[in-house]
Structure 1
């Protein structure tokens, strides 16, 4: 029995998943941890990781290590995404993590992140044609899937944290700020040359903002099976209504909304606005939630490579 640990250093949160893999390649997730380390906070236009955010992240990684260090037959895979990918002080951060925690970081390119999203989703979603949209803290990955095959993919360097900071979407949002953010995002997505090929496609959404959107609505619907999000779906009207509801509340009142983690209340508008923009661009009528993503894509690839009989 092998224990595979995947540590994912994201822009808004750091996550750890531990999988037990049997000799025949059967895989089961036995532990999952998350820390709101918000590594991308305050990076600004110069894209510099800030000392406070770095220390928060390293403390999170040390906490994760305490969980898996006593386990036997452990393989640790550490990845980093948009915040580290974009950082001007990327190398210094990687050295510090290696020195303080003993982890060797693999920095995924935007295309790699989108590809692993696809690998993590394709076997979990029973649809043929759809668009995957992964909304992270500092980037958004889009994958157009047709006939279950990836046809186009891209990563754009905007996400929940940097949109919220740039357009002051954290608390009460003035109409001018919202309009500026919408114009900016429309311009970003208009530069994706193949986007209109996905007109009317259903959207499969990933990331913290997407999970929050689902949890808010599950609480509203008194959804009984809210342990899983995979396959849960909302129509366009419900998504737009939820965004409007969040927009009408200031930060203090958003923190009191059931299903919305208080730590995410200041970036939820910046996290959902890209989804609202893409829904409008593609006229997507159905939004489907998936628990697959980068970590699941990595584990699928790992099993295929190391367990030939699987």
Structure 2
């Protein structure tokens, strides 16, 4: 029995998941932890991780280490995504993590992050053609899948945290800021040459903003388990209605919305705006949620490498 630990240093949250893998390669998740370390907060156009954000993140990693150190012989894989990938002080941050926590961090390229998203959802999605969209704190990954094969992928260096900061979407939002944010996103999407090939595709949605959107609606629909998201779907009308509801509230009121974590209330409008924009651009009518993603993609790769021969 192998104990595999994946530590994911994200732009908005740091996460850890512990899995047991048996001799046949069957994987079971036994624990999951999350910390809202907000590493990308305050990076600005200079793209420097701030001392406060670094300290928060290292504290989170130390708390994870206390947990996985209690299990026998853990194999720990540590990854970092957009915030660290973009940071000009990346080397300094990685050195501090190595010194203070003892973790060697693999910084994923944007294409690698998008590819692992694809690996993480391919066995969870029962459709042939779709667009994977992962909205993170500092990047958006898009993967066009046709005939269950990845055809195109891209990572775009904007996400829920930096959109919210740049366009003042944290508290009450005025029309000019929202218009400028959406125009900014439209211009970015128009520069993706293959995106029009995904016109009318259903969107497989990943990321923290995705989970929040699903939980808000599952709460509203009185589902017993609001956290079970895989295969759950929403139509465009429901998504736009949810966004309008959030848009009408200030930050204080959003914190009281069922299904919306208080520590995400300030970035949820910026986090969902890329989806709202893309739904309009592609005339997509339905979004399907998946519990797969980068971590699950890395697990699939690990199991295929060490346990299965194809």
TM-score under structure 2 normalisation? 0.99
Q: Match of 2:32, SS?
A: strand
Say whether residues 1:125 and 2:125 are aligned partners: yes
**Aligned-CA RMSD value:** 0.8
Q: How far apart, in 2, do the equivalents of 1:154 and 1:51 lie?
A: 30
> What's the counterpart of residue 90 of structure 1?
90
Q: Deviations over 1:241-299 (max 9, x none)?
A: 10011000000100000000000000000000000000000011010000000000000
> What's the counterpart of residue 18 of structure 2?
18
> What's the counterpart of residue 241 of structure 2?
241
Say whether residues 1:181 and 2:201 are aligned partners: no
Q: How far apart, in 1, do the equivalents of 2:227 and 2:237 lie?
A: 24
Give the C-alpha shift of residue 225 in structure 1. 3.4
> What's the counterpart of residue 61 of structure 1?
61
Q: How far apart, in 2, do the equivalents of 1:66 and 1:299 lie?
A: 22
> What's the counterpart of residue 208 of structure 2?
208
Q: Deviations over 1:61-107 (max 9, x none)?
A: 00000001021121000000000000000000000000000000000
Q: How far apart, in 2, do the equivalents of 1:293 and 1:152 lie?
A: 17
Post-superposition, which runs of at least 4 consecutive aligned residues in structure 1 deviate over 6 A? none
> What's the counterpart of residue 170 of structure 1?
170
Unpaired segments ≥5 residues, structure 1: none
> What's the counterpart of residue 225 of structure 2?
225
Give the C-alpha shift of residue 142 in structure 1. 0.1
Q: Match of 1:230, SS?
A: coil
> What's the counterpart of residue 281 of structure 2?
281
> What's the counterpart of residue 104 of structure 1?
104
Q: How far apart, in 1, do the equivalents of 2:10 and 2:253 lie?
A: 27
- Give the 5 Å matches for 1:139-150: 139-150=139-150
Unpaired segments ≥5 residues, structure 2: none
Q: How far apart, in 2, do the equivalents of 1:209 and 1:160 lie?
A: 8
Q: How far apart, in 2, do the equivalents of 1:47 and 1:307 lie?
A: 40
Q: How far apart, in 2, do the equivalents of 1:27 and 1:73 lie?
A: 16
Contact 2:7 2:76 in 1 (8 A): yes
> What's the counterpart of residue 71 of structure 2?
71
> What's the counterpart of residue 48 of structure 1?
48
Say whether residues 1:260 and 2:263 are aligned partners: no
Give the C-alpha shift of residue 309 in structure 1. 5.4
